[in-house]
Amino acid sequence: MDWSKTKTMFILVFLVLDVYLLTQFCYKYSKSKLEFIPDYSLEQRLKADDINYDHLPQTKEKSQFISANTRSFTSKDIQNLTDQKVTINDSNNSTISSIIKSPLALKGKMSGDSIERQLDPYVKTNLVDGNKYSFCNYDKNKKQIEYCEQYNFKTIYNNMSGHIIFYLNNKNQVTSYDQTLLNDIKVLNEEQDVLPAIQAVEALHTNGMLQPNSKVTEAELGYYTMVQLTEVQVLVPTWHLVVEHNHKQQNFFVNAFEGQVFQADNNQNKILE
């Protein structure tokens, strides 16, 4: 046996095998690069769906869980309310109902700023603890204005036990209102970091709640009821996001600690004028 020829043959065989393996590796690597789907950033994904957002809060914020009870009103609470016909309703005396004897006329365009400017002075001086509320919604179809209770300058959203509903006639005059109020508000834990507003936007996008060509116009940190017991409710810091799409406006609420999306209230959706 000619060992030198055999050695040469083995070298050629291994060389051919190496070339084949190298070729297969290059092919698979090239194919994997073609099939690789990059993990786009949130900014890129939103841009791909033409979802815009401006002026989101950038500062890092801390907040806490709070608990609250529904306040029961007494005759003493309403004795100084003038130019009104006032009654206390519900089984636990939790609602003040009032008919305003001299209806309050709201003038000009019924925008949030205009309503707030005209109605705020009345709320602060003519309602029980009126300084605890701020304007939060106007429903053109129902002819209703909602003021929401605040805690530490943060709005308590969609809470039937902490708001005022004003009723308007066809002349945009405020003729009556119903009022409820949360009290005995307590902090339940130490302050902790809340999710940035952009992560609340991401939660909506991940859950398919942002349609293409939408715009996030507002983002505000407030509170939303997480647990409702018989007399006590637990509220969690929550991002309120306002989204515009096809000339309509929709409100969303996202848990600012964990990112869950609360069920949006259809009554909060409205057509832009």
158: number of Cβ within 10 Å: 25
In a domain, 11, yes or no: no
Amino acid at 160: M
For residue 25, pLDDT beyond 50: no
Query: Where is the domain boundary, 182, 213, 239?
Result: 182
Mean pLDDT value across residues 141-167: 96
Cβ contacts of 158 within 8 Å, gap of 6 or more: 224, 225, 253, 265, 268
Q: Are residues 119 and 253 in the same domain?
A: no
Q: Are residues 237 and 140 in the same domain?
A: no
Mean pLDDT value across residues 52-79: 92
For residue 272, give Cα distances in angstroms to 52, 110, 134, 138, 215: 18, 11, 21, 11, 13
Q: Are residues 146 and 196 in the same domain?
A: no
For residue 91, pLDDT beyond 90: no
In a domain, 8, yes or no: no
More confident residue, 94 or 22: 94
In a domain, 117, yes or no: yes
d(CA 34, CA 39): 14
The percent of residues above 70 in pLDDT, for the chain, comes to: 81
Q: Are residues 90 and 151 in the same domain?
A: yes
Q: Are residues 52 and 96 in the same domain?
A: no
Mean pLDDT value across residues 13-17: 44
Chain segment 181-239, per-residue pLDDT in tens = 999 999 999 999 999 999 999 999 999 999 999 999 999 999 999 988 767 899 999 99
In a domain, 74, yes or no: yes
In a domain, 134, yes or no: yes
Please report, for the domain that includes residue 173, its CATH number: 3.30.310.160
More confident residue, 55 or 72: 72
Q: Are residues 96 and 170 in the same domain?
A: yes
For residue 10, pLDDT beyond 80: no
Q: Are residues 59 and 150 in the same domain?
A: no
Query: Where is the domain boundary, 182, 216, 240?
Result: 182
Q: How confident is the prediction for the chain on average, in pLDDT?
A: 84
Q: Are residues 77 and 178 in the same domain?
A: yes
H-only helix segments in the chain: 3-35, 42-48, 75-78, 112-126, 197-206
Work out the pLDDT band at 122, boundaries 50, 70, 90. Answer: very high
Domain that holds residue 128: 70-182
Quote the distance between the C-alpha of residue 81 and its chain's center. 34
> What confidence score (pLDDT) does residue 33 get?
32
Residue 181 near residue 163 (C-beta atoms within 8 A): no
Please give the DSSP secondary-structure letter assigned to residue 42: H
Work out the pLDDT band at 136, boundaries 50, 70, 90. Answer: very high
Please report, for the domain that includes residue 220, its CATH number: 2.40.128.690
Q: Are residues 89 and 133 in the same domain?
A: yes
For residue 135, pLDDT beyond 70: yes
What is the total count of domains within the chain? 2
